[in-house]
Amino acid sequence: MNNPEVGHIDLNIADALNEGSELDDLLPLFRRKIFDADIVRFCDESQKNANGLVLLMIDIDHFKAINDNHGHPVGDEILIGTARLIVERVRGKGKAYRYGGEEFAVLLPNYTATEGIALAEVIRTQVEQTVFSEKKLNVTISIGLSATPEHATTPDDLLTKADAALYEAKGFGRNLVRIFGEPKPVDRQRVPDRKVAVPGGISDDDRESIRVNYFSNRRAECPKDGTGLRILREFHEMGRRTPTIIIMCPVCGLQEMIHGSV
């Protein structure tokens, strides 16, 4: 995969985050006060409807060193670029917030822990592979994950356990996703064998099979693991008879755009 410049990330956040008073002054993320209200509301809805809720706590690794070595304007570029990337990845799935400083939070209603892990690995991998600022810097992030009902049933517990998982991720070497309660790594093998999304990672035949199955019976399976695919978005492109869809596998994290018939 080519390392994209942060300025080249395709963004259109205005449609998803259009309440300016609720946004952070610097970043395209919701403010901490919105997070504090949302985590209570989403936890209540999770309990009432017996649906899952995933919380990701995300921290930029060695951020103080970035500011010390390159200056705060570059640090701001890193913050903005990372935030934009996170917003792009969670659009249509949940909400992203600035929790404080270089720490972000993501709430994913109606998500299972397994689905949250897949998305967290996609975010971690894409940040690692992205070039930020005019200084051409690479950065990494650490992510802690907790979920209802597996790990918590109250907002305080959900936050405490995601924070604990984030602390472990940084303690085990950073650039890592940790789930609350996950066994400690052995023999310094820090990163679990988790599947992550690979753009263009399926063949033309697989793409055609998804297209035919979806537009025939509105269902399609991931060609990698057989999991039912989620349809993140469906829209019409000019000159095509059937809609274009954006699909995601909740297990392996695969994301693809499937064009409808011409």
Active site amino acids: 102
**Hey, how many other C-beta atoms are within 10 angstroms of the C-beta on 173?**
14
* Residues 230-237: contacts with CB under 8 Å, at least 24 apart: 232/92, 232/93, 233/92, 236/260
DSSP string, 40-67: HHHHHHHHHHT--EEEEEEEETTHHHHH
**Hey, how many other C-beta atoms are within 10 angstroms of the C-beta on 63?**
18
Residue whose entry in the numeric block shows the structure tokens 């901490």: 32
User: Which are the contacts of 258, defined by CB distance < 8 A and separation ≥ 6?
Assistant: 207, 210, 211, 214, 244, 245, 246, 247
Sheet strand arrangement including 103-109: 95-100, 103-109, 53-60, 141-148, 177-179
Q: Is 228 helix (H, G, I), strand (E, B) or coil?
A: strand
Q: Is 14 helix (H, G, I), strand (E, B) or coil?
A: helix
β-strands 244-248, 255-258 pairing: antiparallel
Cα 30 from Cα 98, distance rounded (Å): 6
**Nearest one of 109, 138, 127 to 177, comparing CA atoms:** 127
